[in-house]
């Protein structure tokens, strides 16, 4: 149950310290929410974990060191991430999007084989992300929330074990937020989940543990109530 472990992580852009010595542990099977004001370093932290930002220190997932590996190698080790804007193939159906993502996980040769029916992992992902009813619709016609879920589904069929989600409920309707909160709980049963999220109402309802970042460092950690009561957090984050 080792999950994600970050030690003394530093990311420096042209002398500017975006992440300045972060230690973070997210046990396997946990959902960890990361909050903090704009510019706190949240996205850069995820960029470092996924290999997009050059970093020093140590990042391990399930005991494997990630730092220094290429983006696609890190993805192959089970690390998946979504961006604030969903990146799906708009012209293709939901099913085709999932099928393509499953193909990435299987490797290029399997794309050539003749296929009969929907692979079981795709069927399962469709159900998990609640898109069975729209499986044959082009992804471009989906509601905003459904596109985010499709992206999560695409990570599922790629066998992602660690999900790094950047503001998944931004722009979602109330019902979509609720469904996403439930989906995160469901995902965490057999995955490790890290979510960057600003929406306090959502956090109050769905977050067990919250990590607060500020100026490239961890400022506070605990339940939503605990971090909200922390004077350091009130000063920099809530503006009290
Ligand atoms: P957050 O996600 O918490 O809003 P970011 O991780 O996006 O914060 O950014 C942290 C800081 O690093 C910001 O001041 C941002 O301007 C800076 N930054 C992020 N990416 C780059 C980059 N590629 N080059 C230079 N500075 C960057």
Report phi then psi at 221, rounded to 5.
Answer: -150, 140
Residue 58 and residue 7 in contact, taking contact as beta carbons nearer than 8 Å: yes
Residues with CB under 6 A from ligand 1: 13, 16, 18, 36, 38-44
Indicate left, alpha or beta for 14 from its phi (over 0: left) and psi (-120 to 50: alpha): left
Residue 41 C-alpha to ligand 1 middle, in angstroms? 6
Report phi then psi at 44, rounded to 5.
Answer: -65, -35
Which of helix, strand or coil describes residue 101?
Answer: helix
State the pTM of this model: 0.92
**208 is written with which tokens?**
């067990």
pLDDT tens for the chain, residues 1 to 240: 589 999 999 999 999 999 999 999 999 989 999 999 999 999 999 999 999 999 999 999 999 999 999 999 999 999 999 987 778 999 999 999 999 998 877 765 555 455 567 888 899 999 999 999 999 999 999 998 999 999 999 999 999 999 999 999 988 999 999 999 999 999 999 999 999 998 888 999 999 899 999 999 999 999 999 999 999 999 987 565
The topology (CATH level 3) of 4-78+161-238 is: Rossmann fold (3.40.50)
Residue 108 C-alpha to ligand 1 middle, in angstroms? 35
């Amino acid at each position: 149950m080792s999950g994600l472990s970050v030690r003394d992580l530093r990311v420096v852009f042209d002398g500017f310290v975006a992440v300045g010595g972060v230690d973070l542990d997210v046990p396997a099977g946990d959902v960890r929410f990361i909050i903090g004001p704009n510019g706190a370093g949240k996205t850069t932290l995820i960029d470092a974990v996924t290999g997009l930002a050059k970093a020093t220190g140590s990042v391990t997932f399930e005991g494997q060191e990630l730092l220094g590996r290429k983006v696609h190698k890190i993805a192959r080790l089970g690390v998946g991430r979504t961006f604030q804007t969903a990146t799906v193939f708009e012209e293709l159906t939901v099913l085709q999007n999932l099928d393509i993502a499953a193909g990435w996980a299987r490797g290029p040769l399997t794309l050539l084989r003749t296929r009969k029916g929907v692979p079981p992992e795709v069927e399962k992902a469709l159900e998990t992300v609640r898109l069975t009813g729209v499986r044959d619709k082009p992804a471009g016609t989906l509601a905003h929330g459904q596109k985010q879920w499709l992206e999560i589904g695409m990570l599922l069929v790629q066998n992602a074990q660690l999900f790094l989600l950047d503001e998944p409920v931004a722009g979602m309707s109330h019902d979509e937020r609720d469904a996403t909160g439930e989906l995160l709980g469901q995902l965490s049963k057999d995955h490790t989940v890290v979510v960057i999220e600003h929406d306090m109402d959502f956090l109050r309802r769905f977050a067990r543990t919250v990590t607060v970042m500020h100026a490239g460092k961890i400022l506070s950690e605990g339940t939503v109530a605990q971090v909200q009561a922390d004077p350091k957090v009130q000063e920099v984050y809530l503006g009290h």
